[in-house]
Amino acid sequence: MSTITLHDTHNNGHHDDHDHGHHEQSFITKYVFSQDHKMIAKQFLITGIVMAVIAMGLSILFRIQLAWPDKSFPILETFLGKWAEGGRIKPDFYLALVTIHGTIMVFFVLTAGLSGTFSNLLIPLQLGVRDMASPFMNMLSYWFFFTACIIMMSSFFIQTGPASAGWTIYPPLSALPKAISGSGLGMTLWLASMVLFVVSQLMGGINYVSTVLNMRTKGMDLWKMPLTIWAFFLTAILGVLSFPVLVAGVVLLIFDRSFGTSFYLSDIVMGSQVLPNEGGSPILWEHLFWFLGHPEVYIVIMPALGISSEVISVNSRKPIFGYHAMVYSLIGITVLSFIVWGHHMFVTGMNPLLGGVFMITTLIIAVPSAVKTFNYLATLWRGNIRFTPAMLCAIGMVSFFISGGLTGIFLGNASLDINLHDTYFVVAHFHLVMGSAAIFGMLAGVYHWYPKMFGRMMNAKLGYLHFWVTFVCAYLVFFPLHFLGLDGVPRRYYAFTEFEFMQKWVTVNIFVTWSAIVAALAQVAFLFNFFYSIFFGKKATQNPWEANTLEWTTPVEHIHGNWPGEIPTVHRWPYDYSKPGAEEDFIPQTVPYSETMLSNMPHDFEGNAESERIQREWDAKNAPEKADVHFH
């Protein structure tokens, strides 16, 4: 750590060119145990994509079961063996599929894959930093994450199968192997994987927070940071404060499972065997889990919001509307997200008084979310929109955020939640607001920063194809599911065969499954585009989107330390797009106001009287018409 710091200070001096050239890196230090934030970002991204493909595959498996519960698919037996005897998925394995699908998507794809990728890539690049505060810890963060993924996937190769108590693993179901076979070794692996994952997140999060707070380049005060960085910063704070609580909960669950304690267990009879545990409560787990679990959904969505803000602003060629309001609403969401976890527990038997309180805090959190939505719309208004694939995904993200956010108003209302809790309405809600919206934010980020990551461009037309098919299919999959929920169909049902009233939804299930399959196939367009372009894509220019932020001032070829010479100084906020009087429709953050006298506005100087005076005098002399417009 100390050597790295020294190395860094050294770079900041005038020997900058000294950095690249000698000390060649071996394959191992460059691609495997890399300490370079850009390489670590790519590692997170590619691992995230692999995990996403796996989790999507699992979802197709259980969608097939839901659509054709009484048909046999012998090919499944070929791959799954005893879990799909006779070509039919077994109930236990169905639950394992939904559990692992949820776990991978929430934690490995949308937390590590999203924050891990873009925080690592953009925090140093957009803030003008040579690398993370602790590159070594950053490397560890990735490898802990990687190990967590391996352990989670290994549970598919054990006798008793993967964890299958739902991704929220409520005890006693998750604590007692007798209750479900997945709660044997599979659950142990799940818990071990999760502990490693949280370690990874903490190391990453601490790194992000300290880098943002301590290492910004000259001139980059907090209010000049791009909204992406604000989002990553607040996300990291959320993670650092809430993930340890999950570990605490997990450790207690491990104790209950392995050492006979009774934190979550009491008064249990399995079959006719009376268990000795007394005095615990499953509700305790629910509190501990959701104390992380709810901030977790904001950990998932906030980076997507930040990325969308940046992408929408760049491609509308307009400043993001209400930058300050955007930051304050992110802060508002961050703070409020800690006191809303109880809305997952309205019907658990928790004291109804608490239910009322959590309902109030939950519905308040809709206000900053609404502010963000309206600001996105205002940013589009009278813009000059370039539909890059990234922009399409960002607009898609806004659409999903609205659609899924609005159903949150139903679920956040304790009285309505009584009948909607644990039904397909919930499934539809969170797949739109946290699944689809966050995935589209992530895709927007991939399309937008791909040239920065790989020095090449992705194919735009394949991007269009990918976006439109995925966007349409995501709605076709999730919109109808609301109505199953309104009909009282519970989630995590292996088959709808046992209930007369559910028969009418079978056709909807078939339709949804086909939409899901088409959506999954559409991802081939993305995967091909992504991996093909790494090697054969069109070479990127330095600033392909004509954006203002600092990452586009670095050379296309990656170098350790990011900038070959001195780190650029920042003079202005990142959103000076289409500023009247400017020659181009963008002014990078590194351009001082002295070079843009014609486009400067009074509020640019933040009350600095001296600068305002100079500007006024210049305007009077060189551009009288401008002085009339702006200094009235």
Partner 1 sequence: MAALAVLVTVFANTSAFAQEAAAGAATAAPKPIDMFPIYKSVAFYAMLFLLLCLFIAIVGKAIRVYELTREAQDKPDSINWNTVNGIIFVLFLIAGLAGVYFEYTVHGNMILPDAASEHGKKIDSMFNITLILTTIVFIGTHITLFLFSFYYRNSGKRKAYYYPHNNALERIWTIVPALVLTVLVLMGFLTWRSIFYKVDDPNNKPLSIEITSQQFLWTIRYPGADGVVGLKNYKLITGTNGLGMDFKDKNNLDDQNADEMVIPVNKPVRLILTSKDVVHSFYMPHFRVQLNTVPGMTSYFEFTPTITTADMQTKVNDPAFKFLFYCSKICGSGHYNMQKVVRVVSQAEYDAWIVKQPKFINNDLRKQFNLPIVPEPAAGAAPASAPADSTATPAKDSSAVAMNKPALKK
The interface with partner 1 within residues 422-441 (CB under 8 A) comprises 422-423
Q: Which of 8, 16, 487, 612 binds partner 1 (CB under 8 A)?
A: 487
Q: Which of 380, 457, 614, 623 binds partner 1 (CB under 8 A)?
A: 380
Contact criterion met (CB below 8 Å) for 134 and 4: yes
Backbone φ and ψ for 293, nearest 5 degrees, come out as -55, -35
- Residue 445, Cα to own-chain centre: how many angstroms? 10
CA distance 292 to 297: 9
CA distance 96 to 627: 68
Chain positions 498 to 537 lying near partner 1, rule: CB under 8 A, are 498-501, 504-505, 508, 514, 517-518, 521, 524-525, 528
Contact criterion met (CB below 8 Å) for 398 and 301: no
> What angle is formed at CA 449 by the lines to CA 445 and CA 453, rounded to 5 degrees?
125
CA distance 21 to 129: 20
Q: Is 475 in the site for partner 1 (CB under 8 A)?
A: yes
Nearest CB to partner 1, comparing residues 468 and 631: 468
Question: DSSP secondary-structure letter at 490?
Answer: B
Nearest CB to partner 1, comparing residues 27 and 536: 536
Single-letter amino acid code for the residue at 176: L
Q: Which residues contact 462 (CB under 8 A, 6 or more apart)?
A: 525, 526, 528, 529
CB of 605 to partner 1, least distance (A): 14
Chain positions 268 to 327 lying near partner 1, rule: CB under 8 A, are 268-270, 272, 274, 280-283, 316-325
Q: Considering only the stretches 3-11, 213-221, 224-232, 399-407, report the one whose residues sit in contact with partner 1 under the rule CB under 8 A.
A: 399-407
CB of 32 to partner 1, least distance (A): 32
CA distance 121 to 451: 12
Chain positions 204 to 263 lying near partner 1, rule: CB under 8 A, are none
Q: Is 495 in the site for partner 1 (CB under 8 A)?
A: yes
Q: Which of 46, 206, 241, 370 binds partner 1 (CB under 8 A)?
A: 370
Chain positions 15 to 34 lying near partner 1, rule: CB under 8 A, are none
CA–CA distances in Å: residue 127 to residues 12, 116, 238, 324, 575: 14, 17, 20, 18, 14
Q: Is 69 in the site for partner 1 (CB under 8 A)?
A: yes
Nearest CB to partner 1, comparing residues 198 and 462: 462
Q: What burial class does residue 621 get, using C-beta atoms within 10 Å of its C-beta: 0-12 exposed, 13-18 middle, 19+ buried? A: exposed
How many CB atoms lie under 10 A from the CB of residue 507? 10
CA distance 381 to 376: 9
Q: Which of 359, 390, 428, 540 binds partner 1 (CB under 8 A)?
A: 359
CA distance 279 to 122: 48
CA distance 602 to 608: 9
Chain positions 558 to 587 lying near partner 1, rule: CB under 8 A, are 575, 577-580, 585
CB of 162 to partner 1, least distance (A): 14
Nearest CB to partner 1, comparing residues 68 and 136: 68
Q: Which of 46, 241, 406, 597 binds partner 1 (CB under 8 A)?
A: 406
What x/- string results for residues 455 through 474 when contact with partner 1 is judged by CB under 8 A?
A: ----xxxx-xx--xx-xx--
Q: Return the C-alpha torsion angle 101, 106, 111, 113, nearest 10.
A: 30
Contact criterion met (CB below 8 Å) for 279 and 328: no
Q: Is 605 in the site for partner 1 (CB under 8 A)?
A: no
CB of 57 to partner 1, least distance (A): 15
CA distance 313 to 388: 12
Q: Which of 57, 349, 564, 592 binds partner 1 (CB under 8 A)?
A: 349
Q: What burial class does residue 503 get, using C-beta atoms within 10 Å of its C-beta: 0-12 exposed, 13-18 middle, 19+ buried? A: exposed
CB of 534 to partner 1, least distance (A): 18
Nearest CB to partner 1, comparing residues 254 and 283: 283
CB of 210 to partner 1, least distance (A): 30
Chain positions 84 to 113 lying near partner 1, rule: CB under 8 A, are 86-88, 90-92, 95
CB of 564 to partner 1, least distance (A): 33
Q: Is 544 in the site for partner 1 (CB under 8 A)?
A: no
Chain positions 144 to 173 lying near partner 1, rule: CB under 8 A, are 165-166, 170-173
Task: Report residue 366 as tokens.
Answer: 């809709």
Q: Considering only the stretches 83-91, 214-222, 449-457, 607-615, report the one whose residues sit in contact with partner 1 under the rule CB under 8 A.
A: 83-91
